[in-house]
C-alpha cells in the first residue's frame, strides 16, 4: 500500500463569511495571511520541465538499463577496442526513446482527464467579497505586467457561459423552487413567483418554501446583461415583503434580518478550478461536489440532503447529510449578505469518516457569542454526487490537494511489474557473483603479468594494454565482468 501524504499537522483554519478576520490573521495591509491550495488538481507525474530528468531516472531504476549504460560509457575509451561508440549507443537510445514516448502518451491522457475535471461547471456566489482571499491574488509578475486584473472573467469561464447559453437558448434563466418544480423564464419575462401559503412554516428556519436561484444555470455571453438586479430580484423582494408582513421572522441563526443587503451578489457559473476556500456554492441534484463543502442550507424543510459516495468508497447506497441549524434559514443571495459567521475547522486529513469543526457567530439581538458543532454529517466531500435533493447551498472549506479524495489518492505511482522487480533482484545477484569471479580472475592475471621470463615475453609482444600489472588486471576485470557478461545476459534474455 502506498504511503499517503502527511500534510498540515496541527494546522487549523478559520473560514470567514462576512466576518472580520482576527488581528493575527491579517498582514500590515489588512490582507489575509493564510494561503490555501487551489482547487485545480493535477494527477500527472511529469511537467514539461521535469519530464526528461524524471523519466530517465525511472528508466534507469531498471538495473539492466543501468548496466547497458555502463557498457556504452566504457566503449567510449579506446583501450577496450570498441568499433564505434556511437553505434553502441543506438540500441539503448532506442529503448529509452520508445519507453519515454509511451510514458508521455499515458501522462498526456492523465492531463486530459485532469483538464476535463478542472473545467467542469460549478455555481458560486459572485459579486460578493470572500474575505478569506486577498483582494488581488495575482503573482508579482502579473501585477507588474498588468494582466488578469481581479474580477475579470477569464476565457475559460466565458466559454463555459457562452456554451451553456447556446445550448439552452440565449438569455434563458432557470428558477428553482423549494418544492422541486423548475420553471424557465426569459430575460424579458418578470421573475416573479406566486406564493403557496401551505408551504409557509413558522419558528426557526425558513418561513417560505420558495427559493429563487437566478442565473444559476445559463448566462448570456455579455455579462452586462446580468446587471439588472431589479429584474433578477423581484421574487426575492416579494419574499422579504411577505416575511415582514407576516411578522414571524426567526431571530435564531446567523442571519441579521435588520441588516440591509448590498444587492450585488448573484449566482454565477464558473469552473471547478476557480473555486476558493470561503466561496459559497450552489449545488443541484445529480451535481458532482467540486470541493469539500459544509452544508449551510438545503431544499428540504428539515435541512436534509442525500449523496452518493461510490467515487470515494465504492458504496452505492445513499448517505444522508444535514445542514447546520444556525445557517438552515439561508434561502437566497440576500440571506448570505445578511449573514455573519466563521467556521473554526480542523486541518485537512485523509479520514473519510471524520471531521470536527465549530461554527461561531453572534446572536443578532443580544450580541452574545454562540457556537454549533460541525461534523462529517454536515460535510459533502469532493467527488460525491447529489441525489434526491433539489438544491444545496454550501461553504467551501477544503480545495484541491487538501480535499480528502486527493489526500487519499497520494502521488501518481510509477508502474513497476512484479516480473521487473524480480528481474532487478536476479540481475543484481548474478552480477554480484560475477564480480566475485572476475575479481579472482583479475588477481591471477595481475600475478601472471608480474612474472618475468615467461613465454609471453617472446610470443605475446604488446598484447597487454600497459606495462603495469595492476592496470592490466583492472582491464581484465572490466572485460570479463561487463562485456562477456553482456553476451551471457543477452543469450539468457
What is the distance between the alpha carbons of residues 466 and 339, in angstroms, rounded to a whole number?
89
Please report the pLDDT score of residue 453 as a whole number.
Answer: 60
Q: Confidence band (pLDDT; 50, 70, 90) for 414? A: confident
**pLDDT top residue among 77 and 287:** 287
Inform me whether the pLDDT recorded for 178 exceeds 70.
Answer: no
Inform me whether the pLDDT recorded for 208 exceeds 60.
Answer: no
Inform me whether the pLDDT recorded for 303 exceeds 90.
Answer: yes
Please report the pLDDT score of residue 460 as a whole number.
Answer: 57
What lies within 8 Å, CB to CB, of 240 at 6+ separation is 334
Please report the pLDDT score of residue 478 as a whole number.
Answer: 65
Angle between helix 418-450 and helix 485-492 axes, rounded to 10 deg:
150
The string over 347-361, giving b where at least 16 C-beta atoms fall within 10 Å of a residue's C-beta and e elsewhere, is: ebbbeeeebebebbb
Instruction: Check: CB of residue 361 under 8 Å from CB of residue 284.
Output: no
Please report the pLDDT score of residue 459 as a whole number.
Answer: 53
Cell for 53? 530528468
Sheet holding 280-284, edge to edge: 266-271, 121-126, 280-284, 391-398, 292-298, 379-380
Please report the pLDDT score of residue 78 as a whole number.
Answer: 67
Output the CA–CA distances (angstroms, integers) from residue 251 to 71, 339, 381, in the order listed. Answer: 81, 12, 31
> By mean pLDDT, which of 293-302, 312-321, 455-464 is the weakest?
455-464
**Span 139-149, average pLDDT:** 82
Residue-wise pLDDT tens digits, 35-74:
999 999 999 999 999 999 999 999 998 888 887 887 777 7
**Span 425-440, average pLDDT:** 77
Q: Confidence band (pLDDT; 50, 70, 90) for 411? A: confident
Please report the pLDDT score of residue 193 as a whole number.
Answer: 32
What is the distance between the alpha carbons of residues 450 and 122, in angstroms, rounded to a whole number?
82
The string over 95-131, giving b where at least 16 C-beta atoms fall within 10 Å of a residue's C-beta and e elsewhere, is: ebeebbeebeeebeeeeeebeebbbebbbbbbbbebb
Cell for 185? 423564464
Please report the pLDDT score of residue 189 as a whole number.
Answer: 39
**Span 138-159, average pLDDT:** 84
Please report the pLDDT score of residue 439 as a whole number.
Answer: 75
Q: Confidence band (pLDDT; 50, 70, 90) for 233? A: very low
Cell for 32? 489575509
Please report the pLDDT score of residue 484 as a whole number.
Answer: 57
Inform me whether the pLDDT recorded for 228 exceeds 50.
Answer: no
Please report the pLDDT score of residue 342 as a whole number.
Answer: 96
Please report the pLDDT score of residue 485 as a whole number.
Answer: 54
Domain boundaries, the chain: 13-35+119-409, 37-118, 416-493
pTM: 0.73
**pLDDT top residue among 414 and 266:** 266
Angle between helix 418-450 and helix 469-478 axes, rounded to 10 deg:
150
Q: Residue 127: how many CA atoms within 13 Å on its side-chain side?
A: 16
Please report the pLDDT score of residue 466 as a whole number.
Answer: 58
Sheet holding 319-322, edge to edge: 319-322, 304-308, 385-387
**pLDDT top residue among 469 and 196:** 469
Please report the pLDDT score of residue 169 as a whole number.
Answer: 58
What is the distance between the alpha carbons of residues 153 and 246, in angstroms, rounded to a whole number?
41
Residue-wise pLDDT tens digits, 265-287:
999 999 999 999 999 999 999 99
Inform me whether the pLDDT recorded for 364 exceeds 60.
Answer: yes
**Span 305-332, average pLDDT:** 93
What is the chain's mean pLDDT, rounded? Answer: 77
326: left (phi over 0), alpha (psi -120 to 50) or beta: alpha
User: Considering the chain, what percentage of its residues have pLDDT values greater than 90?
Assistant: 43
Amino acid at each position: 500500500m502506498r504511503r499517503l501524504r502527511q500534510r498540515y499537522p496541527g494546522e487549523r483554519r478559520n473560514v470567514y463569511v462576512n466576518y472580520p478576520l482576527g488581528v493575527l490573521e491579517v498582514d500590515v495591509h489588512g490582507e489575509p495571511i493564510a494561503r490555501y491550495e487551489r482547487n485545480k488538481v493535477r494527477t500527472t507525474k511529469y511537467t514539461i520541465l521535469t519530464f526528461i530528468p524524471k523519466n530517465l531516472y525511472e528508466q534507469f531504476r531498471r538495473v539492466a538499463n543501468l548496466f547497458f549504460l555502463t557498457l556504452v560509457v566504457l566503449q567510449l575509451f579506446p583501450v577496450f577496442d570498441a568499433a564505434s561508440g556511437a553505434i553502441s549507443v543506438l540500441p539503448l537510445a532506442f529503448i529509452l526513446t520508445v519507453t519515454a514516448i509511451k510514458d508521455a502518451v499515458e501522462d498526456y491522457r492523465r492531463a486530459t482527464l485532469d483538464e476535463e475535471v478542472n473545467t467542469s461547471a460549478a455555481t458560486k456566489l459572485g459579486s460578493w467579497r470572500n474575505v478569506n482571499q486577498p483582494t488581488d491574488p495575482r503573482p508579482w509578475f502579473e501585477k507588474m505586467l498588468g494582466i488578469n486584473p481581479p474580477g475579470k472573467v477569464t476565457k475559460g469561464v466565458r466559454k463555459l457561459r457562452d456554451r451553456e447559453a447556446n445550448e439552452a437558448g440565449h438569455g434563458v434563466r432557470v428558477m428553482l423552487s423549494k418544492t422541486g418544480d423548475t420553471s424557465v423564464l426569459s430575460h424579458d419575462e418578470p421573475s416573479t413567483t406566486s406564493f403557496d401559503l401551505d408551504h409557509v412554516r413558522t419558528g426557526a428556519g425558513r418561513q417560505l418554501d420558495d427559493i429563487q436561484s437566478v442565473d444559476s444555470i445559463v448566462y448570456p455571453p455579455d455579462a452586462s446583461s446580468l446587471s439588472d438586479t431589479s429584474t433578477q430580484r423581484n421574487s426575492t423582494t416579494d419574499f422579504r415583503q411577505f416575511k415582514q408582513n407576516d411578522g414571524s421572522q426567526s431571530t435564531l441563526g446567523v442571519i441579521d434580518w435588520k441588516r440591509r443587503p448590498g444587492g450585488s451578489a448573484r449566482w454565477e457559473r464558473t469552473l471547478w478550478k476557480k473555486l476558493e476556500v470561503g466561496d459559497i456554492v450552489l449545488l443541484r441534484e445529480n451535481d458532482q461536489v467540486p470541493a469539500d463543502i459544509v452544508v449551510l442550507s438545503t431544499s428540504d424543510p428539515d435541512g436534509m440532503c442525500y449523496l452518493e459516495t461510490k467515487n470515494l468508497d465504492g458504496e452505492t447506497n445513499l448517505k444522508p447529510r444535514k445542514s447546520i441549524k444556525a445557517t438552515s434559514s439561508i434561502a437566497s443571495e440576500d440571506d448570505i449578505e445578511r449573514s455573519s459567521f466563521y467556521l473554526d475547522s480542523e486541518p485537512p486529513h485523509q479520514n473519510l469518516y471524520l471531521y470536527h469543526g465549530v461554527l461561531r457567530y453572534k446572536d443578532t439581538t443580544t450580541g452574545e457569542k454562540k457556537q454549533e458543532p460541525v461534523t462529517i454529517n454536515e460535510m459533502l466531500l469532493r467527488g460525491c454526487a447529489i441525489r434526491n435533493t433539489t438544491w444545496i447551498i454550501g461553504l467551501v472549506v477544503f480545495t484541491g490537494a487538501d480535499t480528502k479524495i486527493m489526500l487519499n489518492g497520494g502521488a501518481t505511482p510509477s508502474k513497476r511489474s512484479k516480473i521487473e522487480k524480480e528481474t532487478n533482484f536476479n540481475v543484481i545477484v548474478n552480477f554480484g557473483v560475477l564480480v566475485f569471479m572476475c575479481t579472482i580472475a583479475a588477481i591471477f592475471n595481475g600475478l601472471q603479468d608480474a612474472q618475468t621470463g615467461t613465454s609471453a615475453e617472446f610470443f605475446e609482444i604488446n598484447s597487454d594494454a600497459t606495462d603495469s600489472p595492476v592496470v592490466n588486471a583492472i582491464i581484465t576485470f572490466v572485460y570479463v565482468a561487463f562485456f562477456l557478461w553482456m553476451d551471457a545476459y543477452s543469450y539468457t534474455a
